[in-house]
Amino acid sequence: MKVLGIETSCDDTSVALFDSNSGVAENLVSSQIQLHNHFGGVVPELASRAHLVNLLPLVDHLLENHKMKLKDLDGIAVTAGPGLVGALLVGLSTGKALAMAADLPLVGIHHIEGHILANALTQDMTFPACVLVVSGGHSEVIYMPEVGVYEKMGGTLDDAAGEAFDKTAKLLGLPYPGGPPIDRLAKEGTAGRFKFPRPLQKDPRIVFSFSGLKTAVRLEVEKLPQPLTEQDVADVCYEVQNAIVDSLTQRLFKAAGMKNVKAVYLAGGVAANSGLRERTAMEAQKRGLHFLPPERVYCTDNAAMIAYAGYCHFSAGRADGLDLDSFPRGVLKTWK
């Protein structure tokens, strides 16, 4: 089965071809980072306009690269939500138009299911599992007994982990998105110079809170002589990353113990973080749990994960009609 995936939920325009015989044939991403960098965050209207300009040429390019016509596909999968509605609508309308033109089945995918199933692009996933979803807009632990069955065990009370990286990076004068530069600079940092909070550690629920981290970083940074030295910035990055990784892994493994799972997984942009990947691998090994991180290119937004999720839905006989709508918010629901 050959599925075209379309992802336009935020600031990356992406299309991909998943072939059930050979895996991801190609994953094309047109990044808008340069466009939004100047504003320190994503400007929704600019994102929608850029998707509109970039999406169809990317689809043409993908099909040409594989000497395919639309009718050679078996289905189209498109992110229906959550995300920026204007941005989602560009992908959704394009997916519907292409499906109608070539008489192909269409399926709407929950973006978070895509992030989770990115793990399956490079390995056979082991179940039951607990998945830590950590992206720009989400921080939650999901219990997953099989593909298509999702139970949210808890999540953030305020900022998402990706937001915590982005906001602290902004305070340090680092570019947007802040996760990659913090990850890189943390490797040069020395431990123990700063102490940042790890809130709610004794709370019996699976909960995170990252809003206090931003204030704590600001207060520490203000105490230092200005401008900050490269070593100051690296030392703050080291402890910011450490505080976030501590909070996330403590709750992930608590959840894994509660559900007695066989595996843990990471999903979303923050799953690309070196500190988080290393700590999760270490803690999983201690407990005899299976863990392999997703490939870094499939952590941030991409259409390969959406195409693969579409393949899972089509294989289970699920498809949507042309009345499929976008949704800005909404939890990932079980569909099996």
Ligand X SMILES: Nc1ncnc2c1ncn2[C@@H]1O[C@H](COP(=O)(O)OP(=O)(O)OP(=O)(O)O)[C@@H](O)[C@H]1O
Instruction: Give 150-175 as a 3 state SS string.
Output: EEEEEEECCCCHHHHHHHHHHHCCCC
Helix axes 230-259, 274-287, angle to 10 degrees: 30
Q: Write down the least CB distance from residue 138 to ligand X, Å.
A: 4
Residues binding ligand X (CB under 6 A) = 9-10, 83, 111, 115, 135-138, 162, 165-166, 177-180, 183, 268-270, 272-273, 300-301
Q: Write down the least CB distance from residue 302 to Mg ion, Å.
A: 9
Q: Write down the least CB distance from residue 301 to Mg ion, Å.
A: 4
CB contact at 8 A, 61 and 25? no
The one of ligand X, Mg ion, none whose footprint includes residue 186, by CB under 5 to 8 A per kind, is none
Q: Are strands 139-146 and 149-156 parallel, antiparallel or unpaired?
A: antiparallel
Euclidean distance between CA atoms 137 and 151, whole angstroms: 18
Residue 196 in tokens: 């940042």
The one of Mg ion, ligand X, none whose footprint includes residue 272, by CB under 5 to 8 A per kind, is ligand X
The one of Mg ion, ligand X, none whose footprint includes residue 14, by CB under 5 to 8 A per kind, is none
Comparison of 189 and 269: residue with beta carbon closer to ligand X: 269
Q: Are strands 263-267 and 129-134 parallel, antiparallel or unpaired?
A: parallel
Residue 245 in tokens: 């990784």
CB contact at 8 A, 98 and 127? no
Comparison of 11 and 235: residue with beta carbon closer to Mg ion: 11
Q: Are strands 12-19 and 2-7 parallel, antiparallel or unpaired?
A: antiparallel
The one of ligand X, Mg ion, none whose footprint includes residue 167, by CB under 5 to 8 A per kind, is none
The one of Mg ion, ligand X, none whose footprint includes residue 83, by CB under 5 to 8 A per kind, is ligand X
Comparison of 13 and 300: residue with beta carbon closer to ligand X: 300
Q: Write down the least CB distance from residue 241 to ligand X, Å.
A: 8
The one of ligand X, Mg ion, none whose footprint includes residue 179, by CB under 5 to 8 A per kind, is ligand X
Comparison of 79 and 94: residue with beta carbon closer to Mg ion: 79
Comparison of 280 and 300: residue with beta carbon closer to ligand X: 300
AA letter at 210 = F
Q: Write down the least CB distance from residue 176 to ligand X, Å.
A: 8
CB contact at 8 A, 121 and 296? no
Residues binding Mg ion (CB under 5 A) = 135, 301
Q: Write down the least CB distance from residue 66 to ligand X, Å.
A: 25
Euclidean distance between CA atoms 5 and 107, whole angstroms: 10
The one of Mg ion, ligand X, none whose footprint includes residue 293, by CB under 5 to 8 A per kind, is none
Euclidean distance between CA atoms 28 and 191, whole angstroms: 38
Comparison of 184 and 287: residue with beta carbon closer to ligand X: 184
Q: Write down the least CB distance from residue 162 to ligand X, Å.
A: 3
Taking alpha carbons only, the member of 203, 300, 187, 190 closest to residue 247 is 203
Euclidean distance between CA atoms 302 and 111, whole angstroms: 10
Comparison of 35 and 68: residue with beta carbon closer to ligand X: 35
